[in-house]
Amino acid sequence: MNHYKNIRAAFFSDSLPERNGTGAYYHDLIRQLEPKLEQGRMFQPKARDRFSFAALPMPGDPKQKLIAPNLFRIASEFRALQPNIIISVTPGPFGLLGYYYAKRAGIPFLFAFHTDFEGLTRMYWRRFFRMTAGAYLRTVNTLLSSHSETVLVLNEKLIPQVQALGVKRTAVMGTPLPMQILEKPVEPLPAKLSRICFAGRLAEEKNVDLIIETASNFSSIEFIIAGDGPLKEKLERSALGHSNIRFTGWLSRDRLIRLIDSCSLLLLPSKLETFGSIALEAMARGRLVLVSQDAGIYHWQELRQGLYSFKTGSGLSQAIQHIMDESREKHLHKSATARALAEELNERTLNEWLHVLASYSQASTAKAVI
DSSP letters spanning 162-210: HHTTT---EEE------HHHHHSPPPPPPSS--EEEEES--SGGGTHHH
Pairing assessment for the beta strands 8-12 and 39-43 based on DSSP bridges: parallel
In a shared domain, residues 136 and 186:
no
Residues 67-123: tens digit of each pLDDT:
788 899 999 999 999 999 999 998 889 999 999 999 999 999 999 987 655 555 455
Q: What is the mean pLDDT of residues 264-275?
A: 93
Query: Is 365 inside a domain boundary?
Result: no
pLDDT of res. 119:
53
Query: Is 364 inside a domain boundary?
Result: no
In a shared domain, residues 137 and 65:
yes
- Asked if residue 58 has pLDDT above 90, the reply is no
Please give the residue that has the higher pLDDT: either 33 or 312.
Answer: 33
In a shared domain, residues 308 and 272:
yes
Query: Is 41 inside a domain boundary?
Result: yes
Query: Is 28 inside a domain boundary?
Result: yes
In a shared domain, residues 188 and 333:
yes
In a shared domain, residues 112 and 189:
no
| Domain edge (last residue) among 106, 139, 173 | 173
In a shared domain, residues 28 and 75:
yes
| Domain edge (last residue) among 138, 173, 208 | 173
In a shared domain, residues 277 and 154:
no
Query: Is 355 inside a domain boundary?
Result: no
Count of the separate structural domains present in the chain: 2
Q: Alpha-carbon distance 97 to 91, whole Å?
A: 10
DSSP letter assigned to residue 273 = B
Chain mean position to CA 142: 22
In a shared domain, residues 161 and 60:
yes
In a shared domain, residues 115 and 207:
no
Q: Is 135 exposed, middle or buried (0-12, 13-18, 19+ CB in 10 A)?
A: exposed
Q: What is the CATH number of the domain that holds 107?
A: 3.40.50.2000
pLDDT of res. 65:
62
Please give the residue that has the higher pLDDT: either 23 or 248.
Answer: 248
Whole-model pTM: value is 0.85
> Which of the four pLDDT bands, split at 50, 70 and 90, describes residue 160?
confident
Domain that residue 212 falls in: 179-345
Q: How many residues does the chain have?
A: 370
Q: What is the mean pLDDT of residues 252-265?
A: 95
pLDDT of res. 154:
85
CB 272 within 8 A of CB 123: yes
Query: Is 305 inside a domain boundary?
Result: yes
| Domain edge (last residue) among 134, 157, 173 | 173
Mean residue pLDDT of the chain comes to 87
> Which of the four pLDDT bands, split at 50, 70 and 90, describes residue 159?
confident
In a shared domain, residues 218 and 145:
no
CB 192 within 8 A of CB 325: no
